[in-house]
Each structure stands twice: as structure tokens, then as C-alpha cells.
Amino acid sequence: MLRVVIRASECFACGLCYVLAPNVFVEGADGKAEIDPRFRSNTPFEGEVPDDLAPDVIRGMMTCPSKAIDIAT
Ligand code: SF4
């Protein structure tokens, strides 16, 4: 499992991550990115994502213009 964190304060709701990696990221009410509800842990911005979705996580992370997505260890 990959622990994924979105820093909501850095997200400016561009939509790239949830358009390019919709298996992991979804659009929140304000247009900001959230973790898909299937994988959330404490908040909409933290989750445990299965290893087989690592390419999706990395795609979202690499394309985020504000570097708001991190894989935590
Ligand atoms: S790509 Fe980055 S800035 Fe854009 S919606 Fe996703 S987390 Fe927010």
C-alpha cells in the first residue's frame, strides 16, 4: 500500500490529477483534489492506495503543477 497525501492548502483545483488518474483522485466539492473514498484514511486528503495503482498515483503526483501530492513513508 502507498500512503498518499494531498496538501489541500497547495491545491488550486486545476483538475489535472483527477482527470489523468481518476482511479485514485476525485474532484471535491470546491474543485480541489481528494483521495477516492475507497482508499481514504483520516481525511479526504489522506489515503492508503493499493500498490497496483502506483502508476496512477505517480502520474497525478508528477503532473500536479503545485506539487501538492506526496507519497508518504
Ligand atoms: S493536480 Fe495538484 S493542483 Fe491540480 S487538482 Fe490535483 S492536487 Fe490540485
Distance separating the N- and C-terminal Cα atoms of the chain: 10
Query: According to the model, what pLDDT value does residue 72 have?
Result: 87
pLDDT tens, residue by residue, 44-65: 999 999 999 999 999 999 999 9
Local confidence band at 21 (pLDDT 50, 70, 90 cut-offs): very high
Residue 14 burial by CB count (10 A; 0-12/13-18/19+): exposed, middle or buried?
Answer: middle
* Ligand 1 atom nearest to 16, measured from its CA: 1
- Grid coordinates belonging to 32: 480541489
Cβ–ligand 1 distance for 57 under 6 Å, the answer no
Give 3 Cα–ligand 1 centroid separation in angstroms: 17
| Total number of domains in the chain | 1
Residue whose Cα lies nearest atom 8 of ligand 1: it is 11
- Grid coordinates belonging to 53: 495503482
The residue range of the domain holding 24 is 2-72
Looking up residue 23, the CATH number of its domain turns out to be: 3.30.70.20
Is residue 73 scored above 80 in pLDDT? no
